[in-house]
Structure 1
Amino acid sequence: MKLIKATEKDIPMIQELARRSWQKAYAEILSDGQMEYMLSTMYSAEEISGHLQNPNYHYYLILDEATDSFDGFIGYEHAYENQTTKLHRIYLVPESKGKGLGKKALVFLAEKVAENGDGRIILNVNKYNEARKFYESQGYKVYDEGVFDIGNNFFMDDYLMEFIIHK
C-alpha cells in the first residue's frame, strides 16, 4: 500500500471513490435522498478544493500496489481542536475489504499526527455503521455521541470516537 498526497487534479477521483464506498457502507443506513445530498454537498468540488487550500487539512489517496488501483482515501485536519487532529474521512471501495488497507491508513494517520505534535485523533461514525467495530479494534474508543443537523432536514446520528497517541 502507498499513500499519495492528493491535489486539486484528484478531486474527481476522490468524489468517485466516495460514491463507490458510500453505496455499500450506507445502503442500509441512509435514505437515497440523504446519501445524495451528503455526497453532493460534502464532496462537491468546491468543498474539497477548500479543504485542499487549508494548510491543516490533508487528503491522501490509498493505492493498492498489488493491483495498481486506487482503493480509497483519507482526509484529516490537524489542530481541529487543541492538540487534536480530526479524521474527517476514510473510505475504501468494497472490493478492498480485508486487504489491511484501513489498518495501514490509520497507522499512517497516527504517525502524521505525532509528527505534527497533536496527541489525539477524533472522528464521528454513524451509530449504525459497522466501521465502529473496526475503529474499536484499532484502539479507538467512544467518548460521546451526538445528533447533527446537516441541512435539508437531514441529520447525522453519530458516535464520537477518539484515539490517544502515546508519545
Structure 2
Amino acid sequence: MKLKKASIRNINDLKKICIDAYSLNFHNHWNDGGLEWYLDNEFSMERLTSDLNDENIEYYFIEHKLKVVGFIKIKMEPTKNLSFGNSAELEKIYVLPECKGMGIGKLALKEISSRIRESGKKNLFLCVIDTNKSAIAFYEKLGFEFHSKTTLDVPYFKEELKGMHRMMKILNQ
C-alpha cells in the first residue's frame, strides 16, 4: 500500500476513483436521484479543483500493486466548530469493494495518521454512519473512540441512515 498526494495534474484520475469508490460502496444509501446529485456536488471538476487549491484540504490516492484502489480526503483545519482542540478531520476514506478485507484501509489510515501527527496535529476525528457496525469496529481497532452523535444533513440520503457517530483518535499515543 502506498499513499500518493493528489494534485491538479491528476484531477481526472482523482475524479474517477472518487466516483468509483464512493458509488460502488454507497449506491444503496440514496433515494432516487440522490447518488447522482451527490456525485455531481462532491466530485465535480469544479469542486475537486476548489478542494485541491485549498491549502486546508488534502486528497491522497491509495495505491496497491501499482493500481489506485481508493482515496482519502483530509481537512487539516476542520470547519466544524467542535471541541477537538488541535485536530484534523478524516472527511473521506473509501476503498474499492474488491479490495476490502486486504488490510489496505488499515495501512492507509495508519500512514495518514502518522503524516497528520508529524504536521503537529494532536487529534484526528471522523464521522461514520451509526448503523455501519463494521466501519465503527474498524475505526475502534485503529484507536478511535466514540465522541458524540450527530446527524447527516444531506438531501436524498435515506432517513434511516442519517444518524452519525463522531469518533476521535488522539495522535500522540
* TM-score of the aligned structures, taking structure 1 as reference length: 0.87
Please name the residue that 1:76 is paired with. Answer: 74
Unaligned stretches of 5+ residues in structure 2: 79-83
Greater per-residue strand proportion: 1
1:166 matched residue in structure 2: 172
Aligned CA distance change for structure 1 residues 157 and 11 (closer, same or farther; 3 Å): farther
Residue 76 of structure 1 contacts residue 86 of structure 1 at CA under 8 Å; is this kept in 2?
yes
Give the 3-state SS of the residue equivalent to 1:121 in structure 2.
Answer: strand
- Greater mean deviation of Cα atoms: 152-161 or 16-25: 152-161
Structure 2 distance, partners of 1:52, 1:17, is 15
The one-letter code sitting in structure 2 at the alignment partner of 1:109 is I
Contact 1:6 1:61 (C-alpha < 8 Å) held by counterparts? yes
| Change beyond 3 A, Cα 1:84–1:69 | same
Q: Which residue identity lines up with residue 56 of structure 2 in the other structure?
A: N
**Alignment of 1:59 onto 2:59:** yes
| Structure 1: gaps (5+ residues) | none
Residue 77 of structure 1 and its aligned partner are, at CA, apart by 1.5
Aligned-pair CA distance for 1:19: 2.5
Q: 1:97 aligns with which of 100, 120, 124?
A: 100
**Percent identity among equivalent residues?**
28
Cα pair distance change 1:30/1:157, threshold 3 Å: farther
Give the aligned partner of residue 81 of structure 2: none
Q: Is the 8 A contact 1:3 1:63 kept in 2?
A: yes
Q: Once superposed, what is the RMSD of the aligned Cα atoms?
A: 2.0
The amino acid that maps onto 2:139 is Y
Q: Are 2:62 and 2:72, in contact at CA under 8 Å, matched by a contact in 1?
A: yes
Q: Secondary structure at the match of 2:152?
A: strand
Q: What SS is found at the alignment partner of 2:143?
A: coil
The number of equivalent residue pairs is 164
Amino acid at match of 2:99: S
Shift in Å at residue 34 of structure 1? 2.2
- Residue 126 (structure 1) aligned to one of 108, 125, 129: 129
Whether 1:88 aligns to 2:91 is: yes
3-state secondary structure, aligned to 1:134: helix
Deviation at 1:24, TM superposition (A): 3.5
The answer to whether structure 1 residue 146 and structure 2 residue 150 are counterparts is yes
Q: Which has the higher contact order (CA 8 A, sep 6+)?
A: 2
Conservation of the 8 A alpha-carbon contact between 2:61 and 2:70: yes
Confirm whether residue 22 of structure 1 aligns to residue 22 of structure 2: yes
AA paired with 1:93?
L
Work out the CA distance in 2 between the residues paired with 1:38 and 1:136. Answer: 28
Which aligned segments of 4 or more residues in structure 1 are displaced greater than 6 angstroms? none
Contact 1:79 1:118 in 2 (8 A): no
Aligned residue for 1:49?
49
TM-score, normalisation: structure 2: 0.84
